[in-house]
């Protein structure tokens, strides 16, 4: 087990290297250019288990046709299904319409910047609520999915128990690491590193900004 000072050093290196890498290599998406909670929520509803590049054209057309939660709440279920089926997410369409109606009726068309309220909405789980809070509401919350778990467990040498994104140890670590001031950029950075460098199979460690202190690299050197 690492000493507290060693741990701080590891965390500082992780955050600083990741942020520097992001400013040079981070990806650009239309939903990252906005802080409109509605647009961010729509993007997150579309991004579940879908490649971000595939989402871009569908998202842009969708936002053009339904520019706000009011227009979405009046949409026909078939029209919403058309969009979501292009992403293999047709099962989500009905929830999206119900969600829009609730937002109009209960919240006057606003997306609530409150974790419990977000989690009570249909189709919104821990990940989407964290993404909306960080990306749209400027609340410092760590987004944690299986990709983030992979990076944290490899770098810090932790074996997650069960479903990693629900593992208390991983969740505590993710919150501890999160830089409050740059939480938005940090969350984007870790998502991008997982997609471009620390991939599930054959991570590209030779081009990773974290390799110098990564447990995975050190372990594989020894083996
Ligand atoms: S050095 Fe390799 S294993 Fe470690 S975080 Fe980077 S890509 Fe992942």
159-214 confidence digits (pLDDT tens) = 878 776 777 889 999 999 999 999 999 999 999 999 999 999 999 999 999 999 99
DSSP state of 111: P
What is the spatial distance between Cα 196 and Cα 219, in angstroms, rounded to a whole number? 22
Give, for 86, the enclosing helix (H) or strand (E).
none
What is the spatial distance between Cα 61 and Cα 40, in angstroms, rounded to a whole number? 14
Centroid of ligand 1 to alpha carbon of 64 (angstroms) = 39
Cβ of residue 155 lying under 6 Å from some atom of ligand 1? yes
Domains of the chain: 4-28+141-222 (1.10.1670.10), 36-135 (1.10.340.30)
pTM of the model: 0.93
Cβ of residue 151 lying under 6 Å from some atom of ligand 1? yes
Centroid of ligand 1 to alpha carbon of 175 (angstroms) = 20
What is the spatial distance between Cα 158 and Cα 200, in angstroms, rounded to a whole number? 16
For the annotated catalytic residues, the residue numbers are 44, 127, 145
The mean per-residue pLDDT over the stretch 105-122 comes to 97
Cβ of residue 208 lying under 6 Å from some atom of ligand 1? yes
Residue of 187, 214, 211 lying closest to 19 (CA atoms)? 187
Centroid of ligand 1 to alpha carbon of 186 (angstroms) = 16
* Radius of gyration, alpha carbons of the chain: 19
């Amino acid at each position: 087990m690492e000493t507290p000072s060693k741990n701080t050093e590891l965390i500082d290196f992780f955050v600083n290297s990741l942020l520097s890498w992001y400013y040079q290599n981070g990806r650009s998406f239309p939903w990252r250019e906005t802080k409109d909670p509605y647009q961010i929520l729509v993007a997150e509803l579309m991004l579940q288990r879908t490649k971000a590049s595939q989402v871009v054209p569908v998202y842009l057309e969708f936002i053009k046709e339904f520019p706000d939660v009011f227009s979405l709440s009046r949409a026909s279920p078939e029209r919403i299904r058309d969009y979501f089926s292009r992403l293999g997410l047709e099962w989500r369409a009905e929830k999206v319409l119900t969600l829009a109606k609730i937002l109009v009726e209960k919240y006057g068309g606003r997306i609530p910047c409150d974790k419990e309220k977000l989690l009570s909405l249909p189709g919104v789980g821990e990940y989407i609520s964290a993404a909306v809070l960080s990306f749209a509401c400027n609340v410092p919350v760590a987004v944690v999915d299986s990709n983030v778990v992979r990076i944290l467990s490899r770098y810090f040498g932790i074996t997650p128990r069960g479903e990693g994104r629900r593992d208390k140890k991983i969740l505590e670590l993710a919150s501890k690491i999160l830089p409050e001031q740059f939480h938005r950029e940090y969350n984007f950075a870790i998502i991008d590193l997982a997609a471009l460098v620390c991939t599930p199979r054959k991570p590209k460690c030779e081009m990773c900004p974290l390799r110098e202190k990564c447990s995975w690299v050190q372990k594989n050197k020894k083996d």
